[in-house]
Amino acid sequence: MPAAKPALQEEPCAPDMVAAHTNATTHLAGPHLVKPTTARPELHSVSTPAQTRRTGSFQPRVPVITGEVSYRGTVAVDGTICGQLGAAASTLTIKQRPRNGGSEPELDGELSFKDLLRINGHVAGKVSSDKGTLIVDQSAKVEAEIDVGVCVVSGTVVGDIVGRERVEVTPGATVIGDIATRALSIKPGAVFQGDCRMLKD
């Protein structure tokens, strides 16, 4: 008795159909079924500490002061300086690296300005202006004698303040020193330790 033939037989496929079937199976199976290839050890790229520092560990912080001022003193720079320094007009921009702490002032000298000066860092010495407005930011600390037209304190001031027009001490601010002005405003939440003297017209 002859052997029975199977009802279903595998039909021969063309080589291009086999390749298409293999590619479709690979895409549907997902990456976890693909056998990973082992790379040679010498082809791995290893980043050195110098390359790591060069790629972007430098993040400049907020400038110490913002405004057009005349400064006489010393500046300790740990960052980059760009601009022009000449006999007539000089403009310098300093980008400091972030500091981990420390109580030394970033600017120690005499600051004089005309219109508006905002202090964002730690400044010591003397700040003066005939009619200008001084703004001490919340994160700022000023250890200086201040003689300006208008003084708005939101941070910490250690020293005497002379505001020829007015002095404003906002909530959360600290003033340790004497204040002499024509108009004084101290908001609730501010700290003031010193004497106050009202100036006459």
Run means of pLDDT, 10 residues per run, the chain, 201 residues: 56 51 44 49 47 53 84 82 76 74 81 94 94 95 96 97 97 97 96 94 73
Of 60, 65, 62, residue with least CA distance to 135: 65
Task: Classify residue 44: in a domain, yes or no.
Answer: no
Using the Cα atoms of residue 40, residue 41, residue 42 and residue 47 in order, give the sign of their dihedral: positive
SS3 143: strand
**pTM (whole model) above 0.85:** no
Q: What is residue 94's predicted lDDT score, i.e. its pLDDT?
A: 78
For the chain, how many structural domains are there in total? 1
Q: Which amino acid is at 67?
A: G
Task: Classify residue 78: in a domain, yes or no.
Answer: yes
Report the distance separating Cα 95 and Cα 93, nearest Å: 7
Task: Classify residue 1: in a domain, yes or no.
Answer: no
Expressed as residue numbers, the domain containing 80 is 65-97+107-196
Using an 8 Å Cβ cutoff, are 83 and 93 in contact? yes
Task: Classify residue 4: in a domain, yes or no.
Answer: no
Using an 8 Å Cβ cutoff, are 92 and 81 in contact? yes
